[in-house]
Amino acid sequence: MKGWKDIPGTVFGAPFKSGSVACEVSPELLGVGYIIGPRVAAIMCGGGVLAYLVLIPLIQFFGGNLTTPLEPGVKLISAMSPNEIRGAYILYIGAGAVATAGIISLFQALPTIWQSIRASFGDFAAAGAPVGTARTDQDIPMKWVLVGVLGIIAAITVATPLHMNVLGAVMILAFGFLFVTVSSRLTGQVGSTSNPISGMTVATLLLTCLIFLLIGWTGGQYYVTALSVGAIVCIASSNAGTTSQDLKTGFLVGSTPRLQQYAIIVGSLLSAVVLGPILLTLNEASTVYVPAEQVAPALATDPATLTDRAALIGPQAAQDGATYRVWHKTDDIGGPAGKYLTDDNGRAVYLVDPGINGTHTTRPDGSEVRKLDAPKAVLMSYIIKGMLAGHLPWGLVLFGAMIAIMLEMVGIPSLVFAVGVYLPLSTTLPMFIGGAVRWWVDRRHAAAEANAHLSPEEKAAASDSRIGVLLSSGYIAGGALAGIFIAFSAGVMVDFDKALEAWAGANNPFYAGANADWLSLLPFAVLVGLLLWVGLERKKTATSTAATK
């Protein structure tokens, strides 16, 4: 609510030109870092350090004297900001690293995957055998499961926005059966943190795109089909692991699996029904309609090919209530690719910059907009476009692939590091700080006399059950809810949001001004201090109890 600057940071000058450091003032990211622990948080942040403090300055150092843009960039490197260099070059390196690391993690899990498939076929073959009628052995009958599967596949096939076809539905069945089985077994055997969802999703996309290439499906509509196949398999695999954990917990407390399964179905359905409109509303609230003359002067197309019409939505709809033709431009000729609104003569009027993964943060009236990042979605789009259309700078992708291979050679988990290369440093740095707090708290608890006799496994279990984890979960939930509220208020209470931003820009030194980057770190320091104090609280209580005895 304009209380402080969201992402304070600094950009270095010569001799370290374009090096930069930033940290998002985010309780949820701090909480995530505390929960995932110091090692994972440090490795992920290390990927961000490589991107922002090594690769971006290197690109500026070697390319700053070029007199022409270096593809795939469209501007001179010397005129690029660190984030522009990231968007033009680093994202492709990160995409190559993540894709390669995902494939590596999938190959590493192949023995377990094979055992899971064999065991699952054995379970399926034994499904018709007589079973006990004990309450804890009751599941949803298999015939209703098959009916549900076929019903979902039929609904997906006829869903127009998914651009699905029979082949896509068959691939969803095949890849879904394989990776749902793998995800469920891996979660039960090694835990959800070692479940390679990213690798399975990348593998699904690669295989889907390869099949499409072999039969000549390379048009724009097949991009959406491939993405739909990958997204559905990804969601199914993720839900499979979560369901396994839920059923295991239910087994330990003596619940009825059939009733748990009904509850999971209801929860999944409600999530799909509720989250869709929320995400669409968030996207609309942060969508910017950029006047076409700013990004693509004189851009036009044949209006006869444009059949869909749309009006502006969100805050800018109040200034322009007209309807326009919709043009999905897929190349960079004459202007950037994207969705355009054109007049009846085919002349581009607006570039529609989405709220999620958009790049334009200022509306024509000067008001600022905070965009919502979905980096994994961009990564998947790179894979699809790269395979089906060849629109991928393979040199940069291969650089990322070599980074992932090098990390595996030296024994560092490549997928975690690769995700750090792909994400902004401002996202991974608060995670690192949360992980550092967890390291200090665990170190202090381990040094306590009462915990000296515990094994490493018992210490890890005790660490996961301490109150600091609960506070971190609260940080995550509270931060997420506050983010949704702020985004909705910006889209609904437009005048109030503008007035608040104007006031904060003129009167709040935490939000704007020469010292805003440093002052806005103070609220973050309070969050860190509270997490540290709460994490150490049990140790103090245990010490005082021991002293009384």
Domain ranges of the chain: 9-102+375-543, 139-255, 288-353
As given in the structure block, the two tokens for residue 316 are 């800018």
> By the 8 A CB rule, do 282 and 356 touch?
yes
DSSP secondary structure letters along 332-386: -TTS-SEEEEE-TTSBEEEEEE-SBS----B-TTS-B---B--HHHHHHHHHHHH
Q: Using an 8 Å Cβ cutoff, are 490 and 497 in contact? A: yes
Both tokens of 231, joined, read 């997204």
Q: Is residue 200 within 8 Å of 116, Cβ to Cβ?
A: no
Hey, what are 318's tokens?
């109040």
Structure tokens at 84: 């522009």
Whether 60 contacts 77, CB under 8 Å? yes
In the block, which residue shows the tokens 């919709």?
A: 326
* Sheet strands (E) in 417-489: none
Distance of alpha carbon 235 from the chain centroid: 13
User: For residue 172, which of 224, 233, 231, 217 has the smallest C-alpha distance?
Assistant: 233
Six token digits for residue 501? 């931003």
pLDDT under 70: residue ranges of the chain: 1, 112-113, 116-133, 186, 188-196, 449-452, 488, 490-494, 538-549
pLDDT tens track for 324-361: 999 988 777 888 888 999 999 999 999 999 988 888 88
Residue with tokens 């001799």: 15
Give the number of C-alpha atoms closer than 13 A to the C-alpha of residue 393, restricted to the C-beta side.
Answer: 17
What's the pLDDT at 116?
A: 60
What's the pLDDT score for residue 539?
A: 46
- Sequence letter at residue 256: T
What amino acid is encoded at 345 in this protein? Answer: N
Q: What is the per-residue pLDDT across 275-302, written as a single tens digit (0 to 9) for each? A: 888 888 888 888 999 999 988 888 999 9
C-alpha 352/C-alpha 346 separation (Å) is 15
Q: Do residues 337 and 330 touch, judged by C-beta distance below 8 A?
A: yes
Nearest CA to 199 out of 402, 419, 510 is that of: 419
- The answer to whether the beta carbons of residues 501 and 445 sit under 8 Å apart is no
Q: Of 525, 417, 432, 339, which is closest to residue 50 (Cα–Cα)?
A: 417
Gyration radius of the chain over CA positions: 26
Task: Give φ, ψ of 105 to 5 degrees.
Answer: -65, -35
| Residue 338, beta-bridge partner list | 329
| CA distances from residue 293 to 50, 223, 300, 335 in whole angstroms, order as listed | 37, 29, 11, 10
